[in-house]
């Protein structure tokens, strides 16, 4: 493997050619190895070294939703690995005019080496992956955000030094970010406590599956409606926007439902004194998080955002090289 010329690690051979739709599709060992690879690729990049693992490869980047971090980090990641990234908005494709998703998957398989898609419907991405003969990477759907989760755990590992036994408190909407986060944490032995208001809990079937993985790795995933209970003695506090893209008509109702769930100076007093604050961004200051927290000394949100690049390079290198 070309990577061995640069660092004493190989790409994760067991995931080569696989789709990444959720972390349920990967073993705990594979997630741990991808995390190690992401860290190694970041170290190389900081020394201006970029292993040419995707030379001759073209990756299609399909977007149904607007994006800053996902688009830029994937384009840069593919380019740094020597490949070519091709941006495509769904409205500019025939898929945006009613072409069956299965037809699109089969057509693109004849042109590209891989697809990253940021979509509205997880079901649609599953259909695309089933039809395509090339790997499909989920850049975000209504149910999962796996690339974000790998960047999250990479950030925790960098700052805390280890993952097993850490307590992560997630306070807020039980959304796609929360779903992928609990699965990644389950694979890595991180304890998770989730606080969401009634009606905004994470999906019960996803929770049950993640809890089984966590048990195998010596950790737990618990839920509550009490933010203080979730944050008690937490090593990491994580939140996301209360109203995600496409939910704007629910803004008023959500603001009422999430009253009391803001990450602020009062709430963080219940966490450990050296707690780490994370947010996947974009953030709404003074809504889900106080400015003093996200802009304070405990916050690592920009390191976390940068780590999208390195986490995704590990995924791309292992699946496509």
Q: Which of 113, 308, 310, 312 is catalytic?
A: 308
Give the integer Cα–Cα distance in Å for 250 and 243. 7
User: Which of 19, 69, 113, 118 is labelled catalytic?
Assistant: 118
φ, ψ for residue 86, nearest 5 deg = -120, 110
In angstroms and rounded to an integer, the radius of gyration of the C-alpha atoms of the chain is 19
What are the residues facing 60 on neighbouring strands? Answer: 86, 115
Q: Which residue of the set 80, 148, 262, 304 is catalytic?
A: 148
Asked about 308 being catalytic, the answer comes back as yes
Which of the 8 DSSP states describes residue 299? B
Write the CB contacts of 41 (distance below 8 Å, at least 6 apart in sequence).
51, 310, 313, 314, 317
On the CB side of 269, CA atoms within 13 Å amount to 3
Q: Which residue spans within 103-155 are E strands per DSSP?
A: 114-118, 136-140
122 is catalytic: no
Which distant-in-sequence residues (6+ apart) come within 8 Å of 306 by Cβ? none
Q: Check 145, 179, 187, 279 and give the catalytic one.
A: 145
Q: Rounded to the nearest 5°, which phi and psi values hold at 269? A: -65, -20
User: Which pair of tokens denotes residue 68?
Assistant: 């800053």
Q: Which of 19, 185, 240, 312 is catalytic?
A: 240
Nearest to 268 by CA among 241, 244, 297, 242: 297
Angle CA(236)–CA(243)–CA(95) in degrees, nearest 5? 110
Which among 80, 122, 254, 280 is annotated as catalytic?
280
Residue 209 tokens read as 């599956």
157 is catalytic: no
Identify whether 148 is a catalytic site residue: yes
**Helix extents (H) in 258-300:** 265-268, 291-294
For the annotated catalytic residues, the residue numbers are 118, 145, 148, 240, 280, 308
């Amino acid at each position: 493997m070309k990577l061995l010329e640069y660092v004493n690690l190989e790409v994760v051979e067991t995931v080569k050619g696989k789709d990444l739709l959720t972390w349920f599709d990967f073993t705990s060992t594979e997630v741990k190895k991808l995390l190690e690879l992401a860290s190694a690729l970041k170290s190389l990049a900081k020394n201006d070294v970029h292993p040419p693992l995707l030379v001759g490869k073209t990756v299609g980047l399909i977007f149904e939703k607007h994006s800053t971090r996902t688009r830029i980090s994937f384009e840069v990641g593919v380019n740094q690995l020597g490949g070519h990234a091709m941006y495509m908005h769904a409205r500019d494709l025939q898929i945006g005019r009613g072409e069956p998703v299965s037809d699109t998957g089969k057509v693109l398989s004849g042109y590209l080496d891989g697809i990253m898609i940021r979509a509205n419907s997880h079901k649609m991405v599953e259909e695309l992956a089933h039809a395509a003969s090339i790997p499909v990477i989920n850049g975000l759907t209504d149910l999962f955000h796996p690339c974000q989760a790998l960047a999250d755990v990479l950030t925790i590992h960098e700052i805390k030094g280890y993952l097993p036994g850490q307590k992560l408190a997630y306070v807020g909407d039980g959304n796609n970010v929360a779903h992928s986060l609990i699965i990644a944490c389950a694979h890595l032995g991180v304890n998770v406590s989730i606080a969401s208001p009634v009606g905004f809990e994470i999906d019960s079937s996803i929770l049950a599956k993640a809890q089984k993985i966590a048990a195998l790795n010596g950790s737990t995933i618990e839920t509550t409606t009490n933010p203080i209970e979730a944050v008690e003695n937490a090593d990491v506090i994580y939140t996301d926007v209360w109203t995600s893209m496409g939910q704007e008509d629910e803004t008023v109702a959500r603001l009422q439902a999430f009253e009391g769930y803001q990450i602020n100076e009062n709430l963080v007093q219940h966490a450990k004194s050296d707690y780490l604050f994370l947010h996947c961004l974009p953030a709404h200051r003074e809504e889900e998080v106080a400015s003093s927290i996200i802009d304070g000394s405990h916050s690592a949100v920009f390191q976390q955002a940068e780590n999208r690049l390195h986490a995704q390079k590990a995924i791309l290198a292992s699946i496509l090289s």
